[in-house]
Every structure is written in C-alpha cells, then in structure tokens.
Amino acid sequence: MNEQVNIRELNDLIASKSSFVGLITKGMDQRIVGQKHLVDSLLIALLCNGHILLEGVPGLAKTLAIKTLSNLIDAKYSRIQFTPDLLPADVIGTMIYSVKNEKFEVKKGPVFANFVLADEINRAPAKVQSALLEAMQERQVTIGESTFMLEDPFLVMATQNPIEQEGTYQLPEAQTDRFLLKVIIGYPSKEEEKIIIRQNMNGYRPPISSVVTPQEVKEAQAIVEKIYIDEKIENYIVDIVFASREPQKYGLGDLNDIIAYGASPRASISLAKASKAYAFLKGRGYVIPEDVRAVCHDVMRHRIGLTYEAEANNIGADEVITNILDKVQVP
C-alpha cells in the first residue's frame, strides 16, 4: 500500500514538473519540423544527465536541434567543429604565458559549457577524442596541474555522418560506450518536407527565448531518479542485456556467429535510466515494459559488437536487438 501512495505522489510530482517538457517540445517544434524521435531522445539524454550521439546524413537538422535546445534552456552552449588537425588543447583548454602577470594562466576551452556540441566527432584523431572522454566520464578536466569541475548540467551531444569514410577516425568502443544513446536520424516525410521548404522560402524564423532554467532541469533529473522500477522490470532489462552476451541460453543460437561481444553492464544501467526518463515523458511514476522496449534500440545499438559474418550478410545491430526483444519474455 505504501508503494501505491508513493507512486500516486510521484505521479502528482511529475504532473507538476512535466510542464517544462511541453515548453521545450513546443519550442523545438517552432524550429524543427517532425523529427519527434530526435526531440524525445534529446530530452531523455537531458533528464538522465547522459550524453548522446546522433548519426545521420547531412542536412537533417542535427546541429539545429541541439542549438535550439540550448537556447530554450538558459544555459551556456559551445560548438566544437572536429577536424583532423584539432588538438586536445583546442577542446579542453591550455596554459598560456601572461606577460603582464609574468606567469602561466589557464585558458579554459569550449568544453566548459552546459551543452557541448561535438560536430562530426569522427573527424578528429584519437587523442582529441580521448580528451573529450575524460570530460564526459569524470565531468572534470585536467589542465596542467589543476583539475577543474565542469558545469552542471553537462551534456555532450556529438554528431557524425555515416556516409564519408575517408579522413575519418572511427570512435573507439570505449568512447561510444560512454554515450547514453546513439540515435539514427531518418529523412522527413513528404508533408514535412513541404513545410520545411515553405518555412525556408518565407525566411521568417520565430525568435527562440529561454523557457527553462538549469535549476529546473536539475529538479526534473532528481524526480526521474525517484521513478519506481519493479524487480520484474529489472529482470527484464538484465535478460535483454544477457541475451546479447549468451544468445544460446535464450533460444537465439543463430546469433552466436553474429555477435562478437555483448553489451556491457553500462548498457543495463543506461537502459534502466533511459526507461525512467521515458516514463517521465509519458507522465508516469513507474516503468512498464513498453518503456524499456521504446529506448532499447537507442541504448544498445552502439554497445553490441558484430562479427565480419554479420557485416558480410548485411545484418545490423538493430536487427539483432529486434530479435532479442522478440525472444526475451516480457513480464
């Protein structure tokens, strides 16, 4: 009975706090046509205080979506355009000698912001990617002998184009694992494309003003952490992750030759967190199996390693995850 009371209280709390979700969605709709999945994914990453990797061909409003989100939240925003000649100091900052003070002073880099857009992250060499890695995982940066804490909330939103492979450095597995979600963005529908053309022909873009403060975001993050997740749902999450590691135990023996390595424990944590955030977006104080299924592809697609055989047969991670979800018993 106590749990029921708590859930009822949580539902009321979510109802009072979820107004900011509506405000952000409305603000995003002013600039971005369609792409509902992209907007939801950005909100999930924001509510979980996690990082997000967006993949899609050029011109699908990846950068615009991230910029609009940072404008709607009264927060610091910086953009880093990754190029092959970028250095770690260009991202995190460096020590500069001050002639006036006759000593070295710290010059902070663009990573010191609430929202960091890492544009075309796979164009920079590994040393730059690993500099961003410490910032993402530890939420701190070391410059010289000093360590600086980063802003709170801190969210890295990285984009990459899947088409050009020349002059790119593939993200190492350790780095992709630190992204809460990897979202594949598709093309808009015909109707949406017509609206996009009209909007751009008019030349009118409604001004975007901030509707939410970082403090409100932190409060919402605290509520998301309180959302109730039943033991049955926990077992369901663990089963999904274990099915990627030991497929034969779940009647998925045909995946043995396709999966090189399964999802890490970080996948289980991310799946639970993202499910809670999805429940929050739906205005619920508890997680249901549909929440887990809704976020599963985005959470796991970059955490499952596929064999050469899978690539030869043109089998992708999404197909593997769909097979797992079809086989694992829903509570």
Q: Name the DSSP letter for residue 52.
A: E
Choice between 297 and 173, residue whose per-residue pLDDT is larger: 297
If asked whether residues 190 and 49 sit together in one domain, one would say yes
Q: How many domains does the chain have?
A: 2
If asked whether residues 108 and 253 sit together in one domain, one would say no
Rounded CA separation 264/257 (Å): 19
For residue 221, tell me if it sits in a domain. no
Instruction: List the domain range (segments joined by +) for residue 313.
Output: 227-327
If asked whether residues 98 and 57 sit together in one domain, one would say yes
- Average per-residue pLDDT for the chain: 86
If asked whether residues 189 and 234 sit together in one domain, one would say no
Rounded CA separation 220/280 (Å): 9
pLDDT at 213: 84
Kindly tell me the burial class for residue 158, based on how many C-beta atoms sit within 10 Å of its own C-beta (0-12, 13-18, 19 or more). Answer: buried
For residue 31, tell me if it sits in a domain. no
The predicted-structure confidence for 217-245, as pLDDT tens digits, reads as follows: 888 888 888 888 889 999 999 999 999 99
**Which residue shows structure tokens 């730059």?**
128
Rounded CA separation 306/315 (Å): 9
In percent, how much of the chain has pLDDT > 90?
A: 24
If asked whether residues 194 and 287 sit together in one domain, one would say no
For residue 216, tell me if it sits in a domain. no
Do the bridges between strand 140-143 and strand 146-149 make them parallel or antiparallel, or are there none, so unpaired? antiparallel
If asked whether residues 179 and 268 sit together in one domain, one would say no
If asked whether residues 45 and 177 sit together in one domain, one would say yes
For residue 222, tell me if it sits in a domain. no
pLDDT category at 5 given cuts 50, 70, 90 is: very low
If asked whether residues 188 and 309 sit together in one domain, one would say no
Rounded CA separation 65/68 (Å): 5
If asked whether residues 131 and 174 sit together in one domain, one would say yes
CB 130 within 8 A of CB 175: yes
CATH number assigned to the domain comprising residue 160? 3.40.50.300
Report the range out of 22-26, 65-69, 294-298, 327-331 with the highest average pLDDT: 294-298
Cα–Cα nearest to 311, from 253, 257, 245? 257
Choice between 172 and 298, residue whose per-residue pLDDT is larger: 298
For residue 87, tell me if it sits in a domain. yes
If asked whether residues 256 and 322 sit together in one domain, one would say yes
For residue 127, tell me if it sits in a domain. yes
For residue 124, tell me if it sits in a domain. yes
**Which residue shows structure tokens 């369901």?**
236
Q: Does position 3 have pLDDT exceeding 60, yes or no?
A: no
pLDDT at 249: 87
If asked whether residues 91 and 159 sit together in one domain, one would say yes
Q: Does position 254 have pLDDT exceeding 90, yes or no?
A: no
With b for 16 or more beta-carbon neighbours within 10 A and e for fewer, the 238-276 pattern comes to: ebbbbbbeebeebebeebeebbeebbbeebbbbbbbbbb
Mean pLDDT of 284-310: 91
Half-sphere exposure of 197 (CA within 13 A, CB side): 7
The predicted-structure confidence for 28-61, as pLDDT tens digits, reads as follows: 888 888 888 888 999 999 999 899 998 888 888 8
Rounded CA separation 225/95 (Å): 38
Beta bridge partners of 182: 53
- The widest CA-to-CA distance across the chain, in whole angstroms, is 71
Rounded CA separation 45/180 (Å): 7
- Token couple for 12: 């009321």
Residues in Cβ contact with 31 at an 8 Å cutoff, skipping those fewer than 6 apart: 64, 65, 68, 205, 206, 208
If asked whether residues 72 and 179 sit together in one domain, one would say yes
pLDDT at 97: 87
CATH number assigned to the domain comprising residue 309? 1.10.8.80
Q: Does position 256 have pLDDT exceeding 60, yes or no?
A: yes
